[in-house]
Every structure is written in structure tokens, then in C-alpha cells.
Structure 1
Amino acid sequence: MIRLLFLFYFSLFIISCSSSKKLNETIEETPHWLKEFPISQTHYIGIGLADKSKFPTDYIKIAQKNALQNLVSQIKVNISSQSQMVRMQKELNLKQDINSFIKIKTEDIIEGYEIIDTYTKGNEYWVYYSLNKELYREIKKKKIEIATEKSKVLLQNALESSNLKNKYIYFVSALGELEPYFNESFITDLNGREVNLKSEIISQFRSYINNYLINSTNDKISLDLVHPKSKINFQLMHNNKPATNVAIDVISKSFDLNTISNQTDFKGFFSVLINKIKEIEIHHSIELALNFKTWLNEAHTSEFIKSLFEKINVPSFTFPIKINAPNFRISSTEKQYTNNSNRQDLLLATQDKLTSIGMKITENEDEAQLHIVINSETKKGSHIIGHKMYTSFLKMTFQIYDQKSHLIFSKTIDEIKGIQLSYEKSETNAYFNGKSIIKDQIIPEFFENL
């Protein structure tokens, strides 16, 4: 019996030791770099994790990407260039943070890292990356030197090229070469001068942009109000030479217009067709702005570089346009309940509206190009007994004739209502409403139909 008990307990001891050994082996299988993040003076370390259950087909790539991001986060941005980066960001009013962009680009250009180990436990897949710091600095330094030389060549091409489109593309491409290392200062020698290459490119580009000039072929631009259709010619120059094949945007809230072409011709000319005047104001103008969007798209595909150049102000040119307004003569017959009166409410309202938008009024028939004739009369409406409220209605005809007495505009409005405590006051109220209709509806309608 004692012998059997001894064998039983001995077997339990052996099994226990075996289980303990397996447990220790399992614990030891967890790599040391997961137990404690490695610290190295000579290497950047990156550790990444992916869940195999969430990403069953590409968990390896995701873990590698996460490890690379972890590694990149340890590479500090060059502090010496931060003040310059902040100035550039403020100056160009960039919404995108430059430093966040730099971190993204660093992931794209990082080289020389190696995979040290991987580990799988259940659905967890881990990757361990390492990058030699000295190797990273050497690779980066070499790449910056290459990018600097390429950028300088492109900048020199921009300065020497006589083709305006090529100049633009060279400038953009020169800055694009520096894009992967935009946090660096890029102090270099350029034609015997020590310059910050990024700042030099932007400065020279601004100089190039500011040398554009648009001139009107006429000293003064004027349009006839009654017959405004006209073609206005402009010429785009760059350093006193015609600028060809440059796109131009035309902006105006006053005119309905279109362009014959969306860019300048071989002599730098650009024409705008005025179809009609949309809004009558005291001052009218047309704005022309250079549009380099097509060239920018051809020069570089990077959204970051595009955003930099889009923030650099492009010249725009505003040209005042004089409206040759006709002289108006106004006459009115404003009756009071079919009786003639000395009332001039509608005449004065018409005169006030026309002068407020820059029109001229004359009483001389020979000086007038347009003659406004207003005829109106009122009639009594109902009287609500017991409420002491009286109603009057105004009928108004508003007509405009040209110098040859041809009717060019006519508007009749019946039963403009006025309500007050007496017929006399209700008639005054009806005429008041008639004045508002002339100012807010009839005169604007006349000009819209020109």
C-alpha cells in the first residue's frame, strides 16, 4: 500500500514539473521587446501590431505600417528650421499644418530600416523594426544633396527660360524637389550667393508673377446704357512683352458677359463681350485675374505643393467702366379722383430713383434722350361703416419714349390700394404705395430689359 502511494505521489510530482516547465517555456516565448520597449542610442525602434481577426488578409502589411509609424515618431523634426516653417505657414495662410505633412512624407521616404523579429499570439501579429541612426543620417544627407542640386537646376531653368509657361512649371517643380525634406533649411550657394533655397524659389516666383500687367486697348472704357453690347479688348504683358496662352478669369457683378477665348492669343490680346448691364450703380467695373490652375496641374501632382502656390497672390486688375447714361426728361399727370391736381409724388419718386443710380435729369426736351411719361388717377373704394376706414385705388401708367418718340417701355398697374381714416388720407396712402412700386419694381424692370 505504501509502495502504491509513493508511486502515485511521485507521478503527480513528475506531471507538475512537466506542466511548470511548459508554462515557463510559454512565458519565455513572449519576446523581450514586447515585455519592455527597447531603448537604443544607435537605432530607431518601431513596433507595430495588427489584429488578424479584423484584417485576415493584410494583417502583415498593417502591422508593418504601424511599426514604421512608430519608428518615424522617434525621428525629431529639425528644430532649427521651425521658426521659418511657422513664418511660411502664416504668410501663406496654410490651413494644413506643415509639420503634420512632414511626418506623413517621412513615412514615404524613410529607407534603411530592417525587420528584427515578428511574433504571433492568437489574433495578435507583432512586427519589430530597427533603423540605424547613423545610416539614416547618411542616406538623408545624400538625398537632400541630390534634391538640392536638382532644385537649383530647375530654378536656374526658370530664371533663364523665355517661355512663360515653362518658367511657371520650373518654379513649381523646383520647390517640388524639396518637398520630401521640407523641414530642412536648405541653405546653399546659388550663383555666388548664400540663400535659403525654399525662400529663394518663392521670392523669385513672386517676382515672376508680379511682372504680369494687363492693359486696356482704350484709355477709358465706356458703354452706352440703352445699347450696352460691346467688345472690350485687353492685352496681357510680361516684362513689357506680350504674354501668350495665359488663361484669364473675368469677374463682374454689374455685367452679363462672356469671353471669346479663355486665354490670351499669340499677341497677348484677350477680348470680353458685354451683353447687358445687370445692375445699375454709380460705379461700374470689370476685374481680370490670371488663372494658372492648368499650368499648376501640369507642373506637380502634390496637393501640398499646389496649396503653397495657390496661396501666393496672383495679380488681378480692375478697370472702371463708364456708363454713358441718357438724359431723362420726366412729365406726369397725377389726378385726384379723376380731377387734375398739382400732385408730383410719382414724378419726384422717379427722379429720386434715377439720380440715386447716377442718371441725369433734364427739363430741356432737346437735351433728353429718353422721355418718361406718367399718368395716374385715383378712385374711391369702399367705406366700412362703423370702422371709420376708407379705401382708395390708384391706377398708374408708366411709359418711356426715345428721341424719335418711339415707345420703348410701358407698364400699367391697376388698383394700387390705400387705406386710411379718410378718403383724402387713403388716396395719399395709395400714392405712397405707387411711389414704392416705381422705385422697387418699374425702374429696375426697365433697366433689366435693356
Structure 2
Amino acid sequence: MKLKRLTIALFSAMLLVSCGGSKKIVTTYPPAPAWVKDRPVSSGYYIGVGSARKTADINQTQQNAKQNALADMASDISVNISTNSLLSTFENSSNFSEDFSKTIKAQAEQDLEGYETVGNYEDQNNYWIYFRLSKADYQRIKEERRSKAVTIALDLFDKGVNAEKIGDVRLAFISFIKALEPLKPYFADPLQVQYQGKDIYLGNEISKEISGLLSSIRIEASNRQIKVKQGQPLAIGSLEFKVSYKNGQPLNGLTLSGTYTEKPLRTSKILTDNNGLASFTIDAIRSNKNTETLNATLNLENIANEATTDFIIRKLFVRFRAPEASISINIIKPLFYITSTESNLDAKLNPAPISEGLKRKILEGGYSTSDKEMEADYRISIIASTKSKGEVGNYKQTILNATISVKDKSGMEVYTKQLDNIMGAHFDYQQAGMEAYKEAVKKFENTISREIIEVVVKGKSNY
């Protein structure tokens, strides 16, 4: 009996322990400090408060909160654009200012150092951290960094000035662009320094030198105006440009970008040779307009890409005005000469229906015909005839066969077509033949005239 009671007691004790072990441990947190609810404000410190949602990885949670606090602190640092700063030159450009503002914010986060942790706090779901940075310390560190950046930039600026004096334009560009790199965090500052015994604002001075260097480069077209027949290739060298320095020195190794108003160029970027020459090519002029223009501009993007990998510096450089030149291409439409032999049941037709219909469509297309073969750019030859095919009931039937050939001035055939068995029917054979001609004229007006124009203008040869 005693053993039974002991067993029951032990079982009850185990049950109580088991039930007690299933109780959930609840963590209690102290009340949140005031800085969690109300962001502090200080005249002597930059403040940064950041929070992050808790995850299983507590280290990552704390890192996220830290980054948010630093971003908050960076946003507390205002940027004032000096009227003597480089940025003031581009302030009217909203796109550049927006990109630069983002860069300043990112740079400020990277440059923050010497800050101290004032406190941290966590509750069940979130983690907070509070940083502060002495404004005096921040300004001191910034001045030290700016001084080092100005020293580096001034040396590169001097190299650019000396390269410009001896006519080494490429080295001058690269030196000036590289001089901007260390100054990027300080584009909004005046950056006043001494150079060759004078006080200068370094950022602005670099900008002036770049503008002056670009204005000293001349791009001249070998032919400012050229005339070309529509559909014809241009003579080699007719779209040539020369790039030279202000003293007449040819500039080699610079890239020209070409834009053609009719369509994109197959090769739009050409490097100047040792004589400063760059020549563009257009296989043939296809435009229906009277005038098209080829424009050549110094490619600033290539220069920037060679000098720096910094996106903001590249974007700033390509905003400068680049030298350019253009060639006006006056387009002359080709002249056609039409010769025709057309007969109906062996009777010669005058006027010739097919010839007249084709001529009418050519004129409607804005082209001209000539009565003098020697003046024409293309000779169109038409041979057409009809013959009887018999009768069906009361109707007389005829068929028309025609050949058309188009040759250029050299005698080369550029287009040919054969029309066979075009039917015509009427109560009279002569009228049946003319009905066949009516059908042939429709084909010439609706299809063949278009094909001839296309082969002349676009160079198509297979129909």
C-alpha cells in the first residue's frame, strides 16, 4: 500500500515538473528612451538615429540600424552651393544637380568618422541606435581632406595647363578631367587657392580651361556643300572633316561623332588620322528631300571614358559645348528618258498608252523626264504588242506581251521585267487589243513605276 502511494506521488511530481517546463519565458524590456520617440536636436552635434526590424541574424539587424543612423546623420549635414563653386556653373541643370546631390549624400555617409554611440535600445520587434558627431570635429576632418584633395588637383591642373601650351590637347583634357576627381566631394565649395601668384577658384578655373581648350579646336568640312544625285554613292572623301588646334596643328587620335539627318550612319564614330582627317561614308543618298545634313561633333564621351571611370565626372564633362561642323547635301533627283515601241495587232500606237501612263506616274512621284537621251540619268525602254487569241462566243480576245528595261548612263541594266499574256476582250479585235493595253497600263502605274523608282533610289535589283 505504501509502495502504491509512493508511485502515485512520484508520478504527480513528474507531471507538475512537465507542466512547469512548458511555460513560455517572457522577456521584459525597459521603457524606450526619449530619443527613440523624439529625434534629438543639437547645435554642436550632427545627430543620427536609425532603426531596423529584428531578424534571426542579430548582427545584420544591428548593421542595418547603423547604416540607417549614418544616413540620417548625413542628411543632417546641409550643402550650401557657393557662387564661386564649380557646381554653381551647372546649377541650372536639374538632371546634373539631382545626380550630384545623390553623390554628395553617399559621399557624406562614407566620410563620416569620429562619431560616437550615445545609446541603443531594443524591444520585441525592433532595434535602435543613436550616433552623434561633433560639428567642430567634422569640419576639421573635412578641411584636412579638402586640403589634400586640392593639392592633388592643383598638380594635375598644372600638368594640363603645360600640356595645353605645347599643343598636347589629349594630355591636357585627361589632366583637367583627372583634376576634377579628388575635388568631387567639394564641387559646392569655392576652393580658393594660389596659382602662379594669383588667387583662383580651382573648380571654376578647371572648367574655364576645359571650355577654352574646346573652343581652340577647329573642325572644318572639306566641302561645306555638295550636290549628289538621288540613289547615287558619294565620291570618296566628299564627307571629310579636318580637326586642328588654334595654331593650325592637325589633331590626331580624336573621335568625331557623325549624325546624318536622313538615317543613322552605319559607322558613326571615326578617329582622326595623323593629318587630323576623319571621313564618313554614306553608301547612297536615298532621301526624297531636297537637302540633308551631315554633322560632325567632337566626341567628348570617348575623352571622358579614357580619363576617368567616375560617372559623375563623365556626365559633367560631356555637358561642355563641343566643337562641330556640318556638310549640306543638296539632293538632285534623277532624270528619265523614255523610249517606247507599242503596237496593237501590228498597228503602231501613237500616243503609246504604256509610255504615257508610266510618264504620268513618274511625274506624280516628283521626278522629271527629258526628251533628250544624253541628258537623262536613266533610259527606260518599252516594247509591247498584242495579237489575237480567238473568239469566245461573240467576244474577240487578244493577249498583250511587253518587255521593259531600265539602264543607267553607263549602259548597265538596273531593272528588267516581262509581262506575258495580258488578256483583252471586246466585240471588236482592235478594241480587244486596247482593253489589253488598259490592263497593262494599270500594272505599270500601280506596280512597275514604283519598282523602277525603288531600284533607282534604294538600289533594289530583283523583282
The answer, yes or no, to whether TM exceeds 0.5 is yes
Identify which of 176, 183, 188 aligns with 2:181: 176
Partner of 2:47, secondary structure, is strand
1:235-259 Cα distance to aligned partner (Å, 9 max, x none): 3212221111112233336589766
Identify which of 345, 348, 371 aligns with 2:360: 348
Identify which of 266, 273, 276 aligns with 2:274: 266
- Larger displacement relative to structure 2 (186-195 or 284-293): 186-195
Distance 1:45 1:404 in 2: 84
Corresponding residue of 1:237: 244
How far residue 206 of structure 1 moved from its aligned partner, in angstroms, is: 2.1
Distance 2:295 2:201 in 1: 35
- Larger displacement relative to structure 2 (220-229 or 50-59): 220-229
Corresponding residue of 1:401: 407
Corresponding residue of 2:306: 298
How far residue 32 of structure 1 moved from its aligned partner, in angstroms, is: 4.9
**Normalising by the residue count of structure 1, what TM-score does the alignment of the two structures yield?**
0.73
Distance 1:204 1:189 in 2: 16
Identify which of 17, 33, 36 aligns with 1:34: 36
Structure-to-structure mapping, 1:306-317, within 5 angstroms: 306-317=314-325
- Larger displacement relative to structure 2 (218-227 or 367-376): 218-227
Quick check: 2:85–2:190 contact (8 Å CA) kept in 1? no
2:453 aligned with 1:443, yes or no?
Answer: yes
Corresponding residue of 2:80: 78
Distance 2:258 2:202 in 1: 35
Partner of 2:120, secondary structure, is strand
Aligned residue identity for 1:27: P
Aligned residue identity for 2:459: N
Aligned residue identity for 1:286: L
How far residue 273 of structure 1 moved from its aligned partner, in angstroms, is: 4.4
Quick check: 1:332–1:346 contact (8 Å CA) kept in 2? no
Quick check: 2:81–2:189 contact (8 Å CA) kept in 1? no
Structure-to-structure mapping, 1:26-105, within 5 angstroms: 27=30, 30-34=32-36, 36-53=38-55, 56-78=58-80, 85=87, 88-91=90-93, 94=96, 96-105=98-107
Structure-to-structure mapping, 1:195-234, within 5 angstroms: 195-217=200-222, 228=233, 230-232=235-237, 233-234=240-241
How far residue 205 of structure 1 moved from its aligned partner, in angstroms, is: 1.3
Corresponding residue of 2:160: 158
Corresponding residue of 1:249: 257
Partner of 2:253, secondary structure, is coil
Quick check: 1:259–1:271 contact (8 Å CA) kept in 2? no
Corresponding residue of 2:6: none
Corresponding residue of 1:111: 113
- Specify whether residues 187 and 376 from structure 1 end up closer, same or farther in structure 2 by C-alpha distance, changes over 3 A only: farther
Quick check: 2:84–2:201 contact (8 Å CA) kept in 1? no
Partner of 1:46, secondary structure, is strand
Distance 2:260 2:320 in 1: 22
Distance 1:114 1:397 in 2: 94
Distance 1:350 1:259 in 2: 33
Distance 1:184 1:426 in 2: 86
- Larger displacement relative to structure 2 (69-78 or 274-283): 274-283
How far residue 435 of structure 1 moved from its aligned partner, in angstroms, is: 3.0
Distance 1:202 1:145 in 2: 19
**Normalising by the residue count of structure 2, what TM-score does the alignment of the two structures yield?**
0.71
Quick check: 1:68–1:107 contact (8 Å CA) kept in 2? yes
Aligned residue identity for 1:437: T
How far residue 131 of structure 1 moved from its aligned partner, in angstroms, is: 0.4
Partner of 1:363, secondary structure, is coil
Partner of 1:298, secondary structure, is helix
**RMSD of the TM alignment (CA)?**
4.4
Partner of 2:109, secondary structure, is helix
How far residue 112 of structure 1 moved from its aligned partner, in angstroms, is: 2.4
Quick check: 1:206–1:312 contact (8 Å CA) kept in 2? yes
- Specify whether residues 177 and 26 from structure 1 end up closer, same or farther in structure 2 by C-alpha distance, changes over 3 A only: closer
Quick check: 2:291–2:328 contact (8 Å CA) kept in 1? yes
Count of residue pairs the alignment pairs up: 408
How far residue 334 of structure 1 moved from its aligned partner, in angstroms, is: 6.5
- Specify whether residues 83 and 260 from structure 1 end up closer, same or farther in structure 2 by C-alpha distance, changes over 3 A only: closer
Partner of 1:90, secondary structure, is coil
How far residue 188 of structure 1 moved from its aligned partner, in angstroms, is: 4.6
How far residue 168 of structure 1 moved from its aligned partner, in angstroms, is: 1.5
- Specify whether residues 119 and 405 from structure 1 end up closer, same or farther in structure 2 by C-alpha distance, changes over 3 A only: closer
Partner of 1:311, secondary structure, is coil
Corresponding residue of 2:395: none
Quick check: 2:403–2:419 contact (8 Å CA) kept in 1? yes
Distance 2:120 2:360 in 1: 91
Distance 2:134 2:268 in 1: 62
- Larger displacement relative to structure 2 (327-336 or 117-126): 327-336
How far residue 306 of structure 1 moved from its aligned partner, in angstroms, is: 1.6
How far residue 67 of structure 1 moved from its aligned partner, in angstroms, is: 0.8
1:21-43 Cα distance to aligned partner (Å, 9 max, x none): xx9x9536x44543543332211
- Specify whether residues 90 and 248 from structure 1 end up closer, same or farther in structure 2 by C-alpha distance, changes over 3 A only: same
Aligned residue identity for 2:357: D
Distance 1:393 1:315 in 2: 66
Aligned residue identity for 1:156: D
Distance 1:106 1:280 in 2: 57
